Structure 1
Amino acid sequence: MPFRKIEPQKLSRSVVHQIEGLILQGILRPGERLPAERDLAERLGVSRPSLRDAIAELHAAGLLTTRAGAGVFVADVLGSAFSPALIRLFASHDEAVFDYLSFRRDLEGLAAERAARLGSDPDLEVIGAIFGKMEAAHGKRDPSDEARLDAEFHMAIIEASHNIVMLHMMRSMFDLLRTGVFYNRQIMFRQRMTRGALLDQHRAIRDAILARDAAGARQAVERHLDFVAEALRESRKAERNAEIARLRVEQEAERR
Structure 2
Amino acid sequence: MPFEPVQSEKLSTSVVRQIEGLILRGILRPGERLPSERELAERLGVSRPSLRDALAELQEQGLLATRASSGVYVAEVLGSAFSPALTRLFATHEEAVFDYLSFRRDMEGLAAERAARMASDSDLKVIQVIFDKMVTAHAKRNPQDEAALDAQFHTAIIEASHNVVMLHMMRAMFDLLREGVFYNRQVMFRLRTTREALLDQHRAINTALQNRDPAAARAAIDTHLNYVVQALSEQQRMEKNEKVARKRLKQELGT
Range 163-172 or range 138-147, more displaced = 138-147
What is the CA deviation profile of residues 44-77 of structure 1, one whole-angstrom value per residue up to 9, with x for unaligned ones? 1111100000000000110000111111100011
Following superposition of structure 1 onto structure 2, how do residues 93-242 of structure 1 map, counting pairs within 5 Å?
93-242=93-242
Write the deviation string for residues 166-192 of structure 1: whole angstroms up to 9, x where unpaired.
Answer: 000001111110110000110000000
Quote how far apart the aligned CAs of 1:2 are: 4.3
Q: Secondary structure at the match of 2:49?
A: helix
Whole-Å separation in 1 of the counterparts to 2:127 and 2:31: 22
Q: 1:248 deviation in Å?
A: 1.2
Partner-residue secondary structure (3-state), 2:80: helix
Report the equivalent of 1:36.
36
Residue in structure 2 matched with residue 77 of structure 1 by the alignment: 77
Hey, what's the Cα distance between the residues in 2 that align with 1:28 and 1:3?
35
Give, in angstroms, the shift of residue 4 of structure 1.
Answer: 3.3
> In 1, Cα distance between the equivalents of 2:104 and 2:44?
38
2:24 maps to: 24
Aligned length: 255
Root-mean-square deviation (Å) = 1.0
C-alpha separation in 2, matches of 1:13 and 1:80: 27
TM-fit CA distance, 1:197: 0.2
State the Cα distance separating 1:253 from its structure 2 match. 2.2
Look up the SS of the partner of 1:180 in the other structure. Answer: coil
- Cα deviation per residue 1:203-225 (whole Å; 9 max; x = unaligned)? 00000000001000000000000
Deviates more, 1:246-255 or 1:186-195: 246-255
Indicate the SS of the match to 1:170: helix
Distance 1:227 1:4 in 2: 58
Matched residue type, 1:59? Q
Distance 1:235 1:4 in 2: 65
Q: Distance in 2 between matches of 1:207 and 1:4?
A: 51
TM-score (norm 2): 0.98
CA distance in 1, matches of 2:190, 2:140: 11
What are the superposed Cα offsets for residues 78-102 of structure 1, whole Å, 9 maximum, x if unpaired? 1111000000000000000000000
User: What SS does the aligned partner of 2:66 have?
Assistant: strand
Please report how far the alpha carbon of residue 5 of structure 1 lies from its aligned counterpart in structure 2 after TM superposition: 3.0
User: Which of structure 1's runs of 4+ aligned residues deviate more than 6 A?
Assistant: none
> Which residue identity does 1:179 align to in structure 2?
E
Unaligned runs of 5+ in 2: none
SS of structure 2 residue aligned to 1:46 = coil
- CA shift, 1:193, in A, is 0.3
1:143 to partner: Cα distance: 1.2
What percent of counterpart residues are identical? 70
State the SS of the aligned residue for 1:81. coil
**How far apart, in 2, do the equivalents of 1:84 and 1:227 lie?**
30
Query: One-letter code of the match for 1:250?
Result: K
Report the secondary structure of 1:73's partner residue.
strand
Rounded Cα–Cα distance in structure 1 between residues aligned with 2:20 and 2:143? 36
CA distance in 2, matches of 1:4, 1:22: 29
